Amino acid sequence: MSHFQVKKYTTEEYSQWNAFVSGAKNATFLFHRDFMEYHQDRFEDCSLMVFENEKIVAILPANRLGKMLLSHQGLSYGGLVYTQDLRLTSVVSIFAAVLKFLEQIEITTLQLKLLPTFYHQKPAQEIDYVLFLLQAKLIRRDSSSLIDLSQKVTFSKLRKRGISKAVKNQLVIKEENQLTAFWSQVLIPNLKNRHEAQPVHSIEEITLLKAKFPLQIKQFSVYKDDIIVAGTTIFESNNVAHCQYISKYEGGENLGSLDFLFQYLITEKYKNKRYFDFGISNEEQGRKLNKGLSNWKESFGASTAVHDFYEIEIAKYPLLENCMI
């Protein structure tokens, strides 16, 4: 019988959950309850906590949808989050205990969207091995454009010309505490005109998150003659500067604004980070690739890292009980 105890998260564990996230080897601020709960009305939270002798050793940020449990749909990534010193054998046992618990609450299927490996504080692919043992089905794979900042970064000639143009246009980069100008004058108009779309976060939501996580959420904007023309919203974790939003609205001109901005972010602002992540260029659950967007990101020196999504049949948990020799 497993000595790991699994329970559903409740608000009484708010502080305990957040303290655990801050010390886990495969977590970011997105797993903090204040981030997870800004849109709590949209999801039936069914996050799990795993204990060993009353000490928390793992969590699973998740929501329930009928008989399915999903890595929390309000987050970009998820998976099983665990402590720095947890051994592979323990992760196997913990996941078996999680699946048994889910069976008891009549969950038949679990969908996990893993935390991309470049976010790990140290190697943390124990869960990948567990998924192999469970014969989990790969249901989606996104391609993220990533720059390893520990290596020399080379921009394409086109990007360099854009930077020179921006300098001639006397563009100015500002780090801003307020996101309203970027949202209302650049991001929303650009998405509407080009894609008939809206940002995932409303201005009210991103302002709330920025207030709660001022050290992790940063806004960088580009100005021409005091008029905002481009910008990016960065979600910053220990190892990674991730572009959550990128947009320009230059009024038909080609000012070189984004070339100028990303040269600054990659070579100056975040040069001491391990990775700079432009994010994905995929649609339709990873089965379509936006060719132009992917090529544009790679012209800054980015290359590909994948983000995997798996589906697990709960009834297969006995496979984890018979794998040890």
Tens digit of each residue's pLDDT (9 = 90 or more) over 18-45: 999 999 999 999 999 999 998 888 899 9
The mean pLDDT value for 288-304 works out to 97
Residues with Cβ < 8 Å from 167, sequence gap 6 or more? 256, 260
Tens digit of each residue's pLDDT (9 = 90 or more) over 222-234: 999 999 999 999 9
Give the confidence band of 2 by pLDDT, cuts at 50, 70, 90: low
Give the confidence band of 322 by pLDDT, cuts at 50, 70, 90: confident
Tens digit of each residue's pLDDT (9 = 90 or more) over 103-158: 999 999 999 999 999 999 999 999 999 999 999 999 999 999 999 999 999 999 99
CA gap 187, 232 in Å, rounded: 9
Q: Which of 118, 47, 126, 112 is closest to 82 using CA atoms? A: 126
Count CB atoms within 10 A of the CB of residue 137: 12
> CATH for 4-142+307-321?
3.40.630.30
- Whether the per-residue pLDDT at 65 is higher than 50: the answer is yes
CA gap 58, 4 in Å, rounded: 10
Task: Give the pLDDT score at 1.
Answer: 45
CA gap 79, 73 in Å, rounded: 12
- What mean pLDDT, rounded, does the chain reach? 96
> 176 burial class (0-12, 13-18, 19+ CB within 10 angstroms)?
middle
* Class for the domain spanning 151-273: alpha beta
Give the confidence band of 221 by pLDDT, cuts at 50, 70, 90: very high
111 φ/ψ angles, rounded to the nearest 5 degrees: -110, 125
The runs of H, that is alpha helices, within the chain are: 14-23, 33-36, 88-104, 126-133, 157-168, 180-182, 188-195, 203-212, 257-264, 291-298, 318-321
Q: Which of 105, 107, 26, 103 is closest to 70 using CA atoms? A: 107
Task: Give the pLDDT score at 252.
Answer: 67
Tokens of 251: 């009024």
Q: Which amino acid is at 6?
A: V
Domain positions in the chain: 4-142+307-321, 151-273
CA gap 226, 312 in Å, rounded: 52
Tens digit of each residue's pLDDT (9 = 90 or more) over 262-290: 999 999 999 999 999 999 999 999 999 99
Burial 110-128 (b: 16+ CB within 10 A, else e): bbbbbbbebbbeeebebbe
Task: Give the pLDDT score at 41.
Answer: 86
- Whether the per-residue pLDDT at 219 is higher than 50: the answer is yes
Task: Give the pLDDT score at 251.
Answer: 75
Q: Do domains 4-142+307-321 and 151-273 have the same CATH topology?
A: yes
CA gap 58, 201 in Å, rounded: 29
Higher pLDDT, 195 or 65: 65
Task: Give the pLDDT score at 265.
Answer: 98
